[in-house]
Amino acid sequence: MKHLLAVADLTRDEGDHLLGLTDAFAEVGRRRVPKVPALQGRTVSWLFYEDSTRTRLSFEQAAKRLSADTLNFSVSSSSVSKGESLRDTVQTIEAMGVDAIVVRHKSSGVPAQVARWVDAAVVNAGDGWHEHPTQALLDCYTIRAHLGDLEGMRIAIVGDIAHSRVARSDVWAFSLLGAEVTLVAPPTLLPPNLDGWPVRVSHDLDAVLGDLDVVYLLRMQRERMTEALVPSLREYTARYGLTARRVDTMGDKSLVMHPGPMNRGVEIAADVAELPRSAVIDQVRNG
């Protein structure tokens, strides 16, 4: 596997292999000097056309721990702001001699397009509504670390599924590893067509919470919405927000997850993010 563009392209063996590699790398992270020479002499560059906190820092941290050289590139302070095209920018970065490019873009399909232009390996760090494969891998790793094998596990993904690349990658990753996935959202926040998605659908969070191993909350992706899709955030929170009262109806061992950034008080109550069953910080660490 040269590029990592979408979970939908992965086989079960590739998914298991990546999670196994993560085990070895997590062990490196616990050492007093958390560094190995695996990528010594290689150069990794970033091409982020959308904001990021966790993804960007995780890639940087991972590259350093693997001893790669890094070429930091900020779209906002580069010639992109002078109108340079994506293709010219990519070719410029490649001419610097990079071995891998990590791409985030607001349009679906850009990382795949970049992969067609360059010889370097390309990693998709989130493209529009399409996929966020490294988020899905770290999510699977986190669930496995807390609860064991995903086979037969019941996982609900709650919230703005329609605009979420995390939901698209997680649905494929969770079901690839054998979990049963339920999407929980008002009809306006579901994709219009779910043909081929290996999921069940519910519009009632309270009805599903008691049976879940994992409740995975999503942020309302307001930057991708062209119209108001819920009557008000207050009403959304009343029906779909994870409050302490709702958590009390969950099984003792069940986990609460969120990819971040959290909108506390909207999809997740401030105190719920701090509960021992919240894996949010572990997700970041595993990234």
Catalog residues that contact ligand ASP under the rule CB under 6 A: 126, 132, 165-166, 219, 259-260
Which residue number has the CB closest to ligand ASP?
Answer: 219
Residue 92 tokens read as 């410029």
CA distances from 256 to 52, 97, 203 (A): 22, 42, 19
Between 39 and 161, whose beta carbon lies closer to ligand ASP?
161
Least distance from C-beta 161 to ligand ASP, angstroms? 12
Between 243 and 263, whose beta carbon lies closer to ligand ASP?
263
DSSP H stretches of helix in the chain: 12-29, 54-65, 86-95, 110-117, 133-147, 165-176, 205-209, 233-240, 244-247, 280-286
Between 160 and 180, whose beta carbon lies closer to ligand ASP?
160
Least distance from C-beta 262 to ligand ASP, angstroms? 9
Between 32 and 226, whose beta carbon lies closer to ligand ASP?
226
Least distance from C-beta 213 to ligand ASP, angstroms? 21
Closest CA to 142 of 29, 285, 275, 34: 285
Least distance from C-beta 191 to ligand ASP, angstroms? 15
Least distance from C-beta 65 to ligand ASP, angstroms? 21
Least distance from C-beta 252 to ligand ASP, angstroms? 28
Between 65 and 219, whose beta carbon lies closer to ligand ASP?
219
- Sheet with 100-105, strands from edge to edge, namely 69-71, 43-48, 100-105, 121-127
Between 124 and 254, whose beta carbon lies closer to ligand ASP?
124
The length of the chain in residues reads: 287
